[in-house]
């Protein structure tokens, strides 16, 4: 009898002919996350992944595997021969380590190997009767087929796999299975969550961070890089393109109405992001915008800002309120870092009375006063690239 971890995949089953591609992507992401912990073997059987490792490492492995998108359940399981006595023994080893007092249970069998001569309902009854005989009187344990406190699962494949605990994963699709996106990563709460949500839909994430040193400190950039590291636990390796906007902000302040600063600077960010996407074959731009949250995120502002690029812009937070975004940041582990008090370039140069309903023709008239190509080219030439 062996102790293993099993990994159950979610939406991968919906992907038809592309299923093997999705499995490969998910498994590669799992290997990436657990390589520092170590494991002995890994194999795929009937759409489940089985991992053998030192039992002492199981909890650490589960923490890292949970960060991989495309997974719905992770379980600690017993693997044994397809023999009733062996299955009963494995079931006992599992239940002996559980609190059964005043609980109800149900046995569910999935007979993948149809050559096994005991059908699923009959095997469930046999093991259910065994559990009742051994544990019922001592623990006041009973059967409830409709709403049990716990289930004992039996998968009959080449071997029998028995387990009772299913730890929920994050679901979604494996990172890298849905194209490449460039995330506008600030030092705030929203943008890391936006990257997380697009990665959950299978998008490979790289980041672009805009700063305005020396008007902002180096610590603000370091904070953004720390957020990228937290995000990379879910998305894997990424590049962070760091762009200094100081000269662009100075040009805007010198030549344009101050209340247009936010809109004009955001349009610069979109055009620069588009150029980075084109050079690196990225497919889309991702932002952390939430409708109505700040002046630059009114319907009118987002429309004028989006006009600056022909690229697809994904805004996964657009319909979420701040509490929902904060809860997701806490879940992914970025919240505490995001609230550290270092100003970003947007807050430093934000006007006291920003325009909330900009008109595109007025904004374009203001842009005529700026050397757009020169400012953008210099910003890109002087950018730093960090590998996370």
Whether the predicted pLDDT of 221 surpasses 60:
yes
Distance spanning both ends of the chain, measured CA to CA: 41
Per-residue pLDDT of 8-17, as tens digits, reads: 998 655 556 6
Q: Which residues contact 238 (CB under 8 A, 6 or more apart)?
A: 205, 206, 207, 228, 231, 232, 387, 388
pLDDT tens-digit readout, 60-108: 999 999 999 999 999 999 999 999 999 999 999 999 999 999 999 999 9
pLDDT, greater one: 374 or 351: 374
CA separation for the pair 56, 233 (Å, rounded): 22
Residue 136 included in any domain: yes
Residue 275 counted as domain residue: yes
182 is in an annotated binding site: no
Residue with tokens 């039992």: 55
Confidence class for position 40, pLDDT limits 50, 70, 90: very high
- Does residue 145 sit in the same domain as residue 228? no
Q: Which domain-ending residue is among 136, 168, 200?
A: 168
Q: Tell me, yes or no, whether 22 and 127 share the same domain.
A: yes
Mean pLDDT, residues 223-227 taken together: 95
- Asked if residue 103 and residue 52 are part of one domain, the reply reads yes
Ligand-binding site membership of 297 (annotated) = yes
- pTM here? 0.88
Does one domain contain both 97 and 54?
yes
- Both 6 and 148 in one domain: the answer is yes
Higher pLDDT, 183 or 18: 183
Is residue 191 within 8 Å of residue 185, measured between CB atoms?
A: yes
CA neighbor of 182 nearest in space, from 275, 96, 93: 275
Please, which residues have CB within 8 angstroms of residue 360's CB and are 6 or more apart in sequence? 303, 304, 307
Long-range interactions of 49-55: CB distance < 8 A, separation 24+: 49/6, 49/7, 49/9, 50/4, 50/5, 50/6, 50/7, 50/77, 50/79, 50/161, 51/4, 51/5, 51/6, 51/7, 52/2, 52/3, 52/4, 52/5, 53/5, 55/3
Region for residue 298 given its phi and psi (left: phi exceeds 0; alpha: psi -120 to 50; beta: otherwise): beta
Any known ligand binding at 266?
yes
What pLDDT, on a 0 to 100 scale, did the predictor assign at position 384? 97
Provide the percentage of residues in the chain whose pLDDT is more than 70.
95
For residue 175, is it within any domain? no
pLDDT (0 to 100) of residue 11: 67
211 is known to lie in a ligand binding site: no
Domain of residue 48, CATH code: 3.30.2130.30
User: What would the mean pLDDT of 199-210 be, rounded to a whole number?
Assistant: 96
- Residue 161 and residue 185 in one domain: no
Q: Tell me whether residue 185 is annotated as binding.
A: yes
58 assigned to a ligand binding site: no
Domain end residue (candidates: 141, 168, 195): 168
**Residue 373 and residue 309 share a domain:** yes
Tokens 């028995």 correspond to what residue? 162
Residue 354 has a pLDDT of 80
Q: Specify whether 64 is located in the same domain as 143.
A: yes
Give the structural domain span for 335.
180-387
Please report, for the domain that includes residue 273, its CATH number. Answer: 3.40.50.620
pLDDT given for residue 119 in this prediction: 96
Confidence (pLDDT) at 295: 63
**Mean pLDDT value across the chain:** 92
Last residue of a domain, one of 168, 193, 228: 168
140 and 199 housed in the same domain: no
Tell me, what's the pLDDT at 20?
79
146 is in an annotated binding site: no
**Do both 314 and 381 map to the same domain?**
yes
pLDDT band per the 50, 70, 90 thresholds, residue 292: confident
Both 120 and 253 in a single domain? Answer: no
Split into its structural domains, the chain has a count of 2
Residue 174 is assigned to a structural domain of this protein: no
Specify whether 247 is located in the same domain as 212. Answer: yes
Residue 84 lies in a domain: yes
């Amino acid at each position: 009898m062996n102790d293993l971890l099993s990994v159950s995949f979610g939406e991968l089953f919906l992907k038809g002919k592309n299923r093997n591609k999705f499995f490969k992507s998910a498994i590669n992401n799992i290997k990436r996350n657990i390589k520092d912990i170590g494991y002995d073997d890994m194999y795929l059987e009937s759409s489940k992944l089985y991992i053998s490792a030192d039992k002492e490492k199981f909890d650490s492995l589960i923490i890292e595997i949970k960060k991989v998108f495309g997974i719905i359940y992770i379980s600690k399981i017993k693997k044994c021969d397809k023999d009733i006595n062996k299955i009963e023994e494995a079931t006992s080893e599992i239940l002996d380590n559980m609190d059964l007092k005043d609980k109800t249970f149900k046995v569910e069998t999935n007979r993948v190997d149809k050559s096994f001569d005991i059908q699923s309902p009959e095997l469930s009854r046999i093991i259910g009767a065994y559990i009742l005989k051994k544990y019922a009187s001592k623990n006041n344990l009973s059967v409830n087929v409709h709403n049990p406190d716990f289930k004992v699962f039996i998968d009959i494949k080449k071997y029998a796999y028995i387990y009772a605990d299913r730890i929920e994963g994050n679901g979604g699709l494996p990172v890298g299975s849905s194209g490449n996106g460039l995330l506008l990563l600030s030092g705030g709460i929203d943008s890391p969550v936006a990257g997380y949500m697009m990665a959950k839909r299978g998008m490979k994430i790289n980041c672009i961070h805009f700063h305005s040193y020396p008007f902002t400190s180096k610590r603000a950039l370091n904070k953004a890089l720390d957020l990228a590291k937290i995000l990379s636990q879910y998305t894997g390796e990424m590049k962070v393109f760091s762009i200094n906007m100081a000269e662009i902000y100075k040009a805007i302040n010198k030549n344009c109405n101050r209340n247009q600063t936010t809109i004009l600077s955001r349009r610069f960010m979109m055009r620069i992001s588009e150029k980075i996407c084109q050079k690196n074959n990225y497919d889309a731009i991702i932002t952390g915008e939430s409708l109505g949250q700040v002046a630059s995120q009114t319907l009118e502002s987002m429309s004028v800002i989006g006009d600056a690029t022909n690229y697809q812009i994904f805004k996964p937070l657009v319909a979420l309120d701040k509490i929902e975004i904060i809860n997701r940041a806490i879940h992914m582990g970025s919240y505490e870092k995001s609230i550290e008090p270092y100003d970003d370039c947007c807050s430093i140069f934000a006007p006291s009375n920003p325009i909330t309903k900009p008109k595109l023709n007025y904004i374009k008239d203001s842009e005529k006063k700026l050397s757009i190509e020169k400012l953008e080219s210099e910003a890109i030439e002087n950018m730093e690239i960090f590998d996370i």
